């Protein structure tokens, strides 16, 4: 049972103005509502109200993890370099890893994630198949020296993550835990009031092949998603399979056309009076061996970096200088007559159109009607384009929609990457030693807090879902010095507290004008406000304002619980059966 909070003594310094460096709603509002403060770029302190929200999210995560049978531990943030050298990530992780030396000159890092540490932790003690599966988790501060820390808690350099790691004897067991964790992650999003989508994703630094990201839909999100309006398919455009139908430009034979000053796809399409989808875009890069690759994709699409680097290891685009050395003219590149030694790669969707509109490898000229196999040859066909809204759903064939998302969490099947590298084995049923199969599962706890605000705010401030609100109800006495209004407000707080122990109550006992109190209550975003004033009390009523809709109702003091019933609309627990008021 929590105590009543008094605004007069609450350390919640609200701000009238948006901080100059804040670009998005969650950053502005968490700062203005006195919930967080910036200490340095990408490094924040949580003030009491922010801490209350953070703790609620942590507890939701903790409950859901415990419900899956995972066990909570706490590993150190400070990790010895040896473990990272063993896994190979001391080098692979790059400058995002915060490195430091102790007084004896031993190398350490501040953990951005804990695969190495957990694997080393269990490697000599989790020994038998009989102990598997085992899942351990922690809620802890993580460090990543992000190249562009921004958007407040969304992309910070120090942040709170829940990370879980599971150990298995076989693939079925890993799949089972992965499915359980995915389900728990969906429930966590629901309970935090997030509108989210699980999407197919890339595993990035962590490794492994099977992975799902949980995306809170929001325009401020850095991820681009495509999703199908007619089936469950959804994917990060980093990995989404691209199925698109380029258009065929009407031409009977290859014809060279003077296109003076035309160096972009948009200009070319305009010049020819056709759609960009009827042109072919060229990009030139090299792989890690230095081989030059000319890549062709539909004119209305972008090259997907992840996909191309899977086909050509270490692929990077050539600089203008490097391009000059190849003899290919920027702005007029095509597959016809490509200099010897250059690999021609093309997006597989272009296989369907015989005649292409492409550069003529001569400044100021393009070809229309250049024919595959007759006028040029493609060496490598692959899915190389980034999927976009309007492309075709790879599952059901419908047209995809697009959205932006904030990645709040991700689940991975790691396989034996870390157990092999760090020699973590168990003795199997047949007596042989085998490396564990592992899964890992991360929730961005502090990022989730920001994502909730991105989805729940208006021009006046934050609108917390009751499940993660810093408190549920703010009682606002319009005056505090008198012997009626304030004492009634106080009595109301106490009665509510006695009757509904889980209800968290704040009373704005400050000697401030009503306008100041209303503005702060809206800004901080308590889900319910109860305004106590002289006029209402004459009829024994108070005014209940619902923050989310702004709806105000006169409620008799003795039936106040009816007026607050809307608080129960937000899921309070896994079963959703614990009403705050009844």
Residues that bind ligand ATP (CB under 6 A): 113, 144, 146, 155-156, 159, 161, 204, 206, 407-410, 442, 444, 446-447
- Comparison of 161 and 421: residue with beta carbon closer to ligand ATP: 161
- Comparison of 52 and 447: residue with beta carbon closer to ligand ATP: 447
Give 310-373 as a DSSP string.
Answer: HHSTT-EEPPHHHHHHHTPPTT---STTPPTTPEEEEEGGGGG-SEEEEE-SSTTEEEEEEEBT
Binding partner of 166, given Mg ion, ligand ATP, none, CB within 5-8 angstroms per partner class? none
- Comparison of 155 and 355: residue with beta carbon closer to ligand ATP: 155
- Comparison of 90 and 271: residue with beta carbon closer to ligand ATP: 90
Q: For residues 429 and 552, what is the distance between their CA atoms, to the nearest angstrom?
A: 66
- Comparison of 113 and 561: residue with beta carbon closer to ligand ATP: 113
The sign of the torsion formed by the CA atoms of 37, 14, 50, 217 equals negative
Minimum distance of ligand ATP from residue 151's CB (angstroms) = 9
Contacts of 159 (CB under 8 A, 6+ apart): 141, 142, 144, 153, 444, 445, 446, 447
Minimum distance of ligand ATP from residue 175's CB (angstroms) = 19
Could you tell me how far CA 457 lies from the centroid of its own chain? 18
- Among 66, 136, 176, which Cα is nearest to 413's? 176
Binding partner of 136, given ligand ATP, Mg ion, none, CB within 5-8 angstroms per partner class? none
Minimum distance of ligand ATP from residue 319's CB (angstroms) = 27
Q: How many residues bind Mg ion (CB under 5 A)?
A: 1
Q: For residues 469 and 503, what is the distance between their CA atoms, to the nearest angstrom?
A: 11
Minimum distance of ligand ATP from residue 243's CB (angstroms) = 25
- Among 344, 294, 339, 290, which Cα is nearest to 313's? 290
Minimum distance of ligand ATP from residue 238's CB (angstroms) = 9
- Comparison of 443 and 530: residue with beta carbon closer to ligand ATP: 443
Q: For residues 350 and 358, what is the distance between their CA atoms, to the nearest angstrom?
A: 12
Strand-pairing partners, residue 211, are 412
Binding partner of 417, given Mg ion, ligand ATP, none, CB within 5-8 angstroms per partner class? none
Q: Looking only at residues 400 through 419 of this chain, which bind Mg ion when binding is defined by CB under 5 A?
A: 410
Minimum distance of Mg ion from residue 410's CB (angstroms) = 4
Minimum distance of ligand ATP from residue 74's CB (angstroms) = 17
Binding partner of 113, given Mg ion, ligand ATP, none, CB within 5-8 angstroms per partner class? ligand ATP
Cβ(279)–Cβ(269) below 8 Å: yes
- Comparison of 138 and 156: residue with beta carbon closer to ligand ATP: 156
Binding partner of 366, given ligand ATP, Mg ion, none, CB within 5-8 angstroms per partner class? none
- Comparison of 304 and 410: residue with beta carbon closer to Mg ion: 410
Cβ(385)–Cβ(302) below 8 Å: yes
Minimum distance of Mg ion from residue 200's CB (angstroms) = 13
- Comparison of 146 and 362: residue with beta carbon closer to ligand ATP: 146
* Residue 515 zone, left/alpha/beta (φ > 0; ψ -120 to 50; rest): alpha
349 binds Mg ion, rule: CB under 5 A: no
Binding partner of 155, given ligand ATP, Mg ion, none, CB within 5-8 angstroms per partner class? ligand ATP
Binding partner of 375, given ligand ATP, Mg ion, none, CB within 5-8 angstroms per partner class? none
Distances (CA, A) of 241 to 60, 235, 307: 34, 9, 9
Chain length of the chain: 582
Binding partner of 48, given Mg ion, ligand ATP, none, CB within 5-8 angstroms per partner class? none
Give 502-566 as a DSSP string.
Answer: T--EEE------HHHHHHHHHHHT-SEEEEE-HHHHHTTEEEEEETTT--EEEEEGGGHHHHTGG
Q: For residues 95 and 89, what is the distance between their CA atoms, to the nearest angstrom?
A: 11
Helices 25-32 and 445-455, packing angle to 10 deg = 100
Name residue, tokens 């006029």.
535
Minimum distance of ligand ATP from residue 455's CB (angstroms) = 15
Strand pairing class (223-227; 234-236)? antiparallel
Tokens of residue 390, six digits? 């309007």
Q: Looking only at residues 410 through 469 of this chain, which bind Mg ion when binding is defined by CB under 5 A?
A: 410
Residue with the closest Cβ to Mg ion?
A: 410
- Comparison of 112 and 133: residue with beta carbon closer to Mg ion: 112
Binding partner of 191, given ligand ATP, Mg ion, none, CB within 5-8 angstroms per partner class? none
Minimum distance of ligand ATP from residue 179's CB (angstroms) = 18
Minimum distance of ligand ATP from residue 508's CB (angstroms) = 32
Q: For residues 548 and 36, what is the distance between their CA atoms, to the nearest angstrom?
A: 22
Residue with the closest Cβ to ligand ATP?
A: 444
**What does R_g of the chain's alpha carbons equal in angstroms?**
29
Minimum distance of Mg ion from residue 205's CB (angstroms) = 9
- Comparison of 123 and 447: residue with beta carbon closer to ligand ATP: 447
Binding partner of 144, given ligand ATP, Mg ion, none, CB within 5-8 angstroms per partner class? ligand ATP
- Comparison of 278 and 449: residue with beta carbon closer to ligand ATP: 449
Cis before 133 (ω within 30):
yes
Chain residues binding Mg ion by CB under 5 A are: 410
């Amino acid at each position: 049972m929590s105590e009543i909070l008094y605004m007069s003594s609450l350390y919640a310094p609200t701000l009238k103005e948006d901080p100059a460096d804040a670009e998005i709603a969650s950053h502005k509002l968490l700062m203005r509502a006195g919930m967080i403060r910036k200490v340095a770029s990408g490094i924040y302190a949580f003030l009491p109200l922010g801490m209350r929200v953070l703790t609620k999210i942590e507890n939701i995560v903790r409950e859901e993890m415990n419900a899956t049978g995972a066990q909570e531990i706490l590993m150190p943030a400070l990790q010895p370099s040896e473990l990272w050298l063993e896994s190979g990530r001391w080098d692979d992780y790059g400058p995002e890893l915060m490195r430091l030396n102790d007084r004896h000159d031993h190398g350490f890092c501040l953990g951005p994630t804990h695969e190495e540490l957990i694997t080393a932790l269990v490697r000599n003690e989790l020994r038998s198949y009989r102990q598997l599966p085992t899942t351990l988790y922690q809620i802890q501060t993580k460090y990543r020296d992000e190249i562009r820390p921004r958007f407040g808690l969304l992309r910070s350099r120090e942040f709170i993550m829940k990370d879980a790691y599971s150990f298995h004897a076989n693939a079925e067991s890993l799949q089972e835990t992965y499915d359980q964790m995915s389900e728990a992650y969906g429930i966590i999003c629901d309970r935090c009031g997030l509108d989210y989508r699980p999407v197919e994703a890339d595993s990035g630094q962590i490794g492994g092949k099977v992975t799902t990201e949980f995306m809170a839909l929001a325009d401020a999100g850095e991820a681009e998603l495509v999703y199908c309006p007619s089936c469950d398919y959804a994917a990060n455009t980093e990995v989404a399979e691209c199925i698109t139908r380029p258009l065929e430009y009407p031409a009977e034979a290859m014809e060279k056309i003077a296109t003076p000053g035309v160096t972009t796809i948009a200009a070319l399409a305009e010049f020819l009076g056709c759609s960009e989808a009827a042109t072919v875009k060229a990009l030139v890069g090299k792989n890690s061996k230095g081989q030059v690759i000319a890549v062709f994709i539909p004119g209305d699409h972008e090259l997907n970096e992840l996909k191309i680097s899977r086909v050509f290891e270490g692929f990077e685009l050539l600089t203008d200088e490097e391009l000059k050395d190849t003899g290919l003219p920027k702005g007029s590149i095509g597959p016809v007559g490509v200099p010897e030694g250059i690999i021609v790669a093309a997006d597989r969707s272009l296989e369907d159109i015989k005649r292409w509109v492409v550069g003529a490898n001569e400044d100021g000229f393009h070809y229309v009607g250049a024919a595959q196999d007759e006028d040029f040859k493609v060496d490598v066909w692959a899915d190389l384009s980034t999927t976009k809204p309007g492309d075709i759903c790879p599952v059901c064939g419908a047209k995809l929609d697009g959205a932006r998302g904030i990645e709040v969490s991700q689940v991975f099947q790691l396989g034996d990457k870390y157990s092999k590298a760090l020699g973590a084995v168990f003795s199997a049923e047949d007596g042989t030693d085998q490396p564990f199969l592992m899964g890992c599962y991360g929730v961005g706890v502090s990022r989730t807090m920001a994502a909730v605000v991105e989805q729940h705010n208006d021009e006046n401030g934050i609108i917390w879902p009751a499940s993660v609100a810093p408190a549920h109800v703010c009682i606002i006495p319009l005056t505090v010095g008198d012997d009626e209004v304030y004492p009634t407000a106080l009595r109301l707080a106490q009665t509510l507290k006695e009757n509904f122990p889980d209800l968290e109550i704040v009373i704005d006992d400050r000697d401030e004008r009503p306008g100041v109190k209303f503005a702060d209550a809206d800004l901080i975003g308590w889900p319910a406000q109860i305004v106590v004033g002289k006029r209402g009390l004459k009829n024994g009523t108070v005014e209940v304002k619902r923050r989310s809709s702004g709806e105000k109702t006169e409620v008799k003091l003795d039936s106040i619980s009816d007026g607050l019933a809307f608080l129960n609309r937000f899921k309070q627990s896994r079963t959703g059966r614990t009403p705050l008021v009844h």
